[in-house]
Amino acid sequence: MGGFLTTSGQGFFYDGLTSARHAVTVEAVADGLRVHGADGALLAEWPYGELQAMSAPDSVLRLGRANSPGLARLEIRDPALAAAIDDRTATVDRSGATERRNRKRVVFWTIAATVSLVLVAVFGLPALVVRLTPLIPMSVEQKFGDAVDGQVRNMLDTNKAGAAFECGLKDNEKAGRAALDKVMDRLQREAGLPIRLKVAVVRRSDANAIALPGGHIYVFAGLINKANTPDEFAGVVAHEIGHVAHRDGTRSVLQAAGMSFLFGMLLGDFTGGGVLVIAARTVVQSAYSRDVEAAADRYGVELMTKTRADASALARILERIDGAVDPGITILLDHPQTKDRVAAINAMAAAARQPTEPLLSAQEWSALKRICR
């Protein structure tokens, strides 16, 4: 604020009681403005802290008094007096300096807020999700999975086949469905999960399988075609059951889409169509980290061992199909460093080596291979 030398000039004063315009002399003194009428009488005293700039042409400084019950206003056309008032009060800024300072503050805090959000998203949210995901009731996750399932099926069914997209429903495919159910019953019995798995084979040529939140598993026809034995097929499914048991799909959705999904889960509200589309895309296109995949591999090997199946079969099919699958929607292709995974799976399977029992008879395996025909 400038010095306190009195500066005076001419202006017009409206008392707010009448429409009359009074020619006045305005003095900018140490603590505010003094408005004198033509006869020298003091008409008003306005402290600087109560001055309020009002909309006016560039050549006019129009002032009001903040919190004043009336509509009194003062118009000053004297540039020297306007400059003095501008210099002495923070609420009047004809130079734009205050606005520029405020703009810089806004830019600074906007950048700071953005950086904070990025740091929270990169470091804070994943850690929070890891802690909170186990606290979500499985019944809520099942409800979420049921809601996401329809969106996932629509995304996978690119030819819009509808009900015919799922294999095993036609009369000549029911033997294959029975064989699938036999494998799933053995795996689920040994897994001991608190939920019932819902497995569907769909008409896609990708050698792939994906697990959704809440126990939904999609097996692609291409995976059954690539599998040479029931154990190879079951090994991949056991791996996906590992993702279900570890709730990897739910955690992936929460990490990718932020807290809105978490609040939706806590409230049990999954009615937002856009939210479900984002969740479905996240599940279908998600590529899990090395640690997550390794944990699912360990689970798969342990589950196959409990089932008295060939635990090393997962390694054989992974090694055979790696790099030879469609990269559009393929979880197997995105799995980190297949060579290392194969070695780790074989090592675990060798350590747990035991006599095996066939999962399916030759006739049942043949029926499963024809489940989509």
Classify residue 306 as exposed, middle or buried by CB count within 10 Å of its CB (0-12, 13-18, 19+).
middle
Structure tokens at 120: 């929270």
Under 8 Å between Cβ of 242 and 299: yes
Under 8 Å between Cβ of 26 and 33: yes
Tens of pLDDT along the chain (373 residues)? 444 566 889 999 998 888 888 999 999 888 889 999 989 999 989 898 888 888 888 788 888 888 776 788 899 888 888 888 888 887 776 655 555 666 777 776 677 655 554 444 444 556 666 677 777 788 888 888 888 888 899 999 999 999 999 999 999 999 999 999 999 999 999 999 999 999 999 999 999 999 999 999 999 999 999 999 999 999 999 999 999 999 988 888 777 665 555 555 555 555 555 556 666 777 776 678 888 899 999 999 999 999 999 999 999 999 888 744 433 334 444 444 788 889 999 999 999 888 899 999 999 999 999 999 8
Q: Half-sphere exposure (CA, 13 Å, Cβ side) for 306?
A: 15
Q: Give the domain ranges of the chain.
A: 7-95, 96-135, 136-369
154-177 burial code (b ≥16 CB/10 A, e <16): eebbeeeeeeebbbbeeeebebbb
Structure tokens at 188: 């689920």
What's the CATH code, domain 7-95?
2.30.29.30
Which residues touch 365 (CB under 8 Å, ≥6 apart)? Answer: 179, 229, 230
